[in-house]
Amino acid sequence: MDGAVERLIAPAPEPALEDVAGWGRYPVGRGRVERPEHLDLPAGGEPLVPRGLGRAYGDAAVPYAPGGLVVESTRADRIRSFDPASGRLHCEAGLSLAEILRVFVPRGWFPPVTPGTKFVTVGACVACDVHGKNHHRDGSFGAFVERLSLCTADGRRVECGPDRERELFLATVGGMGLTGLIVDVTLRLGRIEGPWMVLETQGMPSLDAMLEGLRLSAAHWPYTVGWIDCLARGASVGRGILMRGRHATQVEAGLRRLPRSRHIDVPFDAPEWLLNPLFMRWFNRLYAWSHGTALRRRIVSHDVFFYPLDAVGGWNRLYGRRGLLQYQCVLPRAAGPRPVAILLERLAVAGAASFLAVIKDCGPASDAYLSFPMEGTTLALDLPNRGAVTEALIHDLNATVVEHGGRVYLAKDAVTRPEDFAPEAFTLRDREIVMWAPDGQRDSPLVKTLTEKRTGVPATARNWRTVEKLLAMADDAG
C-alpha cells in the first residue's frame, strides 16, 4: 500500500497461571490472574472470577476450572470524589479499607462497617455485604451504599442503588460477585473525633452469661463482641471475654499519640502438632483465667480494637501447610441459646483446636437477597484443616444450623454441601429472588452452590432482556 506504514502490534501476552486461594489456603486453584488498572469485562465474554485482596477464607474467589480467568481489582483503587459535608465517598472497587483509614481517619471519618481486617477492598465489602461488631445497631455494609457501577455479563455498564435498579442492587449486595463485576461504589463514611476507642472487657463464666452480656451491652455500646473458649465443657461451655467499645471523644483521648505500628511476620508454616487439642485447651483456659471476671476499661487505638490480627503478617501460616477452614454461621434469636450451646458442645467433644472463636449479636436482616446476617447470634471460628475429619465436623455443625433455621456465611465457606444450603434457597421474606446474570454466570465454585447444587437438578439462566422479549412475544400471540 503506497505511502502507508504498517505497524504490527503484538497482542497482550496471556497472564501466566498462578496458584489462587483464599486466606484459609484451601482449596487452591490454578488460574490466569489479570490485574488491570481499570475494571472491565474481557472481550469475548469469557467467564471470570472477581477478586480483591484475597481475604475471603474459602473458595469464593477461586477459579472453578483450572486455567480460569481471575480479575484482581487492587490496581483499580482510585478515590473519585469525597464530600466533606456529608461523608459521601465515591471510589473504585479496588480501594482497600486500609487506604480509607489512612486517608480519612486523620480527617475525622471512619468506615461505617468494618470486618476484622482492613485488608479488604470496597468491592469485596459490597459483594459479601460484610458485617462488623456494630451490626446490632447499624446493620451491614450495604446499608451505607448509595450507588454501584456494575459491568454485567452482556457487556453493559449499569448503575444501581436503593432507589435505582433496586432489584439488581439487592441481588449484588451480598451476591458474592455473581451479578457482575463491581467497578465503583458510592458510600457514606461516619464521623469520629479521633483514632481512639474506649474499650471495656469482662470475663464471662458461661454461655448464658455471655449472651446476656451481649444483650445488655447492645443497648449502650455501638460495638460488641465476645471471645469464646470453644474447647470448654460442662458448666463452662461458652465461657469467654466480652468486649464492647465506642469511638472515644477528644476529651477522653487527651493528648495521646498513636504509637509506631508494630508488625511481625510468620516466616514459615507451623507444624500441625502446634495446634493440638491438649495445648489449645490449656491455652484457652489460661487466657480466660488471666483476665478474670473483673470489668476493665482502657483507651486503645482503632487498629488494636478492630484489627489486632493485621499486625501479624501471614498469621494464617500458624495453621500449618494444609491451612484452615473458617466456619461462620448465624442462628435466629427465636431459636434461643440452645442451638449455640449444641454447636459449642460438639466442637469441644471433637477437640476442634481453635483459639479464634468469636460470638456476636446480629440485628435485623437487610433487604439484600443473599446477605448473611439475620437477627440472632453469629459464631465464627478458625479450624485447622485436617482433611475429611474437619469437613465432616463442619457438615455436622451445618446440620444443627439448618435444623434451627440458621445460615452459613458464603464469604468464609469452602466445603458446604448443597443440602446444607438448600433451606435458604429462594425463600427470603416471601419475595422472589432474582439471580441477575445475563448471558451466563461467573466461573466460580459458588455458582454451583447457588444453582445446580442448591436445587439438586440441572439449572440454566435466562438474560432478563430475553425474558422481556418472551413476554412481549406472548402478549403479541395473545
Given pLDDT bands bounded at 50, 70 and 90, which one contains residue 477?
low
Beta-bridge partners for 244? 200, 224
Given pLDDT bands bounded at 50, 70 and 90, which one contains residue 263?
confident
Q: What is the reported pLDDT for 31? A: 95
Supply 183's cell numbers. Answer: 467497578
Supply 143's cell numbers. Answer: 446499608
CATH of domain 196-424: 3.30.70.2520
pLDDT in tens, 27-47: 999 999 999 999 999 887 788
- Locus of grid cell 483456659: 285
Sign, CA dihedral 406-409-414-417, equals: positive
Q: What is the reported pLDDT for 471? A: 53
Q: What is the reported pLDDT for 155? A: 84
> Strand 79-83 and strand 109-110: pairing?
unpaired
Mean pLDDT, the chain, integer: 86
Reported for 252-257, long-range contacts at CB under 8 A and 24+ positions apart, including other chains, are: 252/196, 252/198, 252/299, 253/193, 253/194, 253/196, 253/299, 256/196, 256/299
CA 252 from chain centre, in angstroms, equals 32
Note whether 151 and 40 are within 8 A (CB): yes
- Locus of grid cell 444501581: 160
Nearest of 215, 198, 268, 237 to residue 357 by alpha carbon: 237
What is 95-144 written as a DSSP string? -BHHHHHHHHGGGTEE-SS--S-S--BHHHHHHTT---TTHHHH--GGGG
- Delimit the domains of the chain by residue range: 196-424
Supply 44's cell numbers. Answer: 469475548
Q: Which residue did the predictor score with more confidence, 429 or 416?
A: 416
pLDDT in tens, 221-256: 999 999 999 888 888 888 999 999 999 999 999 999
Do you find a cis peptide bond into 423, omega within 30 degrees of 0?
no
Given pLDDT bands bounded at 50, 70 and 90, which one contains residue 3?
very low
Amino acid present at 82: F
Note whether 183 and 151 are within 8 A (CB): yes
Nearest of 125, 127, 126, 183 to residue 156 by alpha carbon: 183
pTM of the model: 0.85
**281 pLDDT higher than 90:** no
How far apart (Å, rounded) are the C-alpha atoms in residues 397 and 413?
A: 13
